[in-house]
């Protein structure tokens, strides 16, 4: 087999592979979209209504909690979660807000707060445990 024949063979194999991938991807997409069905809005369950609902913030008066972490504003609209976050010490709250609301990794949080990433992990775990207890207490009061 010469070099040219080898490269022609490789091209043919890649061409066949690409066509097969495209064929199966097309079948997969057709299968996925064929399973979707239309539903009238009045026929939706209460849970499904919440999934497709859009709420206008200006029309509802509800308790919001605002925090600033690393110079960014974070607004929490869930009153139970806002109370639990408010009861945390600031050093724990900053780690939780940075991690979950600003979507930063431990290394990034550590650099910004001048902490070791292990300290960030410890504070996040401790804050989650404190919040879990506080949220259970709030739930028991309801």
- Give me the pLDDT at residue 120, please: 94
Higher per-residue pLDDT: 80 or 47: 80
Average pLDDT value for residue range 47-66: 65
- Give me the pLDDT at residue 111, please: 93
pLDDT of 52 > 70? The answer is no
Distance of CA 27 to the CA centre of its chain: 29
Q: CATH number of the domain at 57-141, please?
A: 1.10.10.10
Tens-digit pLDDT profile for residues 76-100? 888 888 888 889 999 999 999 998 8
Tens-digit pLDDT profile for residues 109-125? 999 999 999 999 999 99
Average pLDDT value for residue range 56-69: 70
CA distance 121 to 109: 10
Kindly report the pTM of this predicted structure. Answer: 0.55
Tens-digit pLDDT profile for residues 19-44? 999 999 988 888 877 776 676 767 77
CA distance 89 to 51: 34
- Give me the pLDDT at residue 94, please: 92
Count other Cβ atoms within 10 Å, centred on residue 106: 19
128 — alpha (psi -120 to 50), left (phi > 0) or beta? Answer: alpha
> DSSP strand E in the chain: where?
65-69, 72-76
């Amino acid at each position: 087999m010469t070099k040219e024949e080898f490269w022609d063979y490789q091209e043919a194999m890649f061409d066949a592979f690409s066509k097969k991938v495209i064929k199966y991807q097309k079948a997969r997409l057709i299968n996925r979209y064929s399973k979707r069905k239309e539903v009238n809005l009045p026929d939706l369950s209460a849970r499904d209504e919440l999934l497709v609902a859009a709420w206008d913030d200006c029309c509802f008066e509800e308790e919001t909690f605002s925090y600033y972490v690393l110079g960014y504003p974070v607004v929490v609209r869930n009153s139970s979660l806002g109370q639990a976050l408010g009861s945390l010490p600031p050093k724990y709250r900053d780690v939780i807000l940075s991690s979950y609301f600003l979507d930063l990794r431990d290394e990034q949080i550590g650099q910004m707060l001048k902490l070791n990433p292990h300290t960030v992990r410890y504070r996040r775990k401790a804050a989650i445990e404190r919040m879990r207890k506080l949220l259970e207490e709030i739930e028991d009061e309801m």
